Amino acid sequence: MRETAYAKVNLALHVRGREPDGYHRIETIFAFAEDGDLLEVAEPLVAGAVELEIGGPFEALLAADAGNLVLKAAHALRSARGVTRGARLNLDKRLPVAAGIGGGSADAAAALRLLVRWWSLPHDPPELHRIAEGLGADVPACLISSTVRGEGRGDALTPVDGSELSGRPMLLINPRVPVPTGLVFRAWDGVDRGPLGADLLGRNDLEAPARLIAPEVGEVLTALEGASFAGMSGSGATCLGLYAILDERDAAAARISAAYPGWWLLKTRLR
């Protein structure tokens, strides 16, 4: 069995305040690419064990240890449902790490969806949401992997109609500069610039602090000029460009990859 860990993008992200515990109140529009990391499952080498193997272009940046969110998700689900059967998970890590596009959150969510099928468990959305909340603020949205509005820490979700954007050609670009989420939030200036409006596409209040930490974000956004919409996803450094047609996206990808051969690019579409 296999499951895609769909890349997450933020079409808008407003930071509304900093809480005493250090977390931030946000309002955001989560959307998802058609592509992402790939997770497969098979019988474990050791009966009853939960095992993880990592491959792919970004495998060197992750450890297959107890801190990996895929294993945390597997053990949380197994404990919640009293599962004794094992699983050997293979993660093909195709997305860059600490990049603002879900990463470990998307992988954890994919593990939950995959293991519910592998272990033949009843589909219980409220329980899966509770497990996802315990794994990270973005995991509940990644579990759904469709366009939703996120509030609070990003885990209070409301469905929105994303049909007008579904299928839109999208280009994701990362300058291969990891940007830790915590650093970006701590660098936020504390100014509440107002709530989300009705539009799905909008500003990202984390762009300015991300540029301070990784000036390459500005270079990527400049390279994406000409897209019908361009913005930074999450806390960066990945940026997205939306295009009207595939030919426009592909032409932009060819131009940018030639000018910046060291950057990571993904030609995809919005789900």
The type of residue at 90 is N
What would the 3-class secondary structure string for 211-263 be? Answer: HHHCCHHHHHHHHCECECEEEECCCCCCEEEECCCHHHHHHHHHHHHHHCCCC
Determine whether 35 is an active site residue. Answer: no
Q: Which residue in the block uniquely carries the two structure tokens 């930071």?
A: 15
CA–CA distances in Å: residue 158 to residues 81, 144, 146, 226: 27, 11, 11, 31
End-to-end CA distance of the chain: 21
- State the Cα–Cα distance between residues 99 and 88, nearest whole angstrom: 26
Instruction: Confirm whether 138 is a catalytic residue.
Output: yes
Beta-carbon contacts of 163 under 8 Å, excluding residues fewer than 6 positions away, are: none
In DSSP terms, which residues pair with 231 in a beta bridge? 240
Give CA–CA dist 224/253, Å, rounded.
9
Q: For residues 114 and 143, give the distance between their C-alpha atoms in angstroms, rounded to a whole number.
A: 11
Instruction: Indicate which residue of 37, 92, 107, 138 is catalytic.
Output: 138
Q: Amino acid identity of 132?
A: A
Task: Tell me which of 8, 72, 93, 267 is the catalytic residue.
Answer: 8
**Are 74 and 116 within 8 A, CB to CB?**
no
Q: Which residues are catalytic?
A: 8, 138
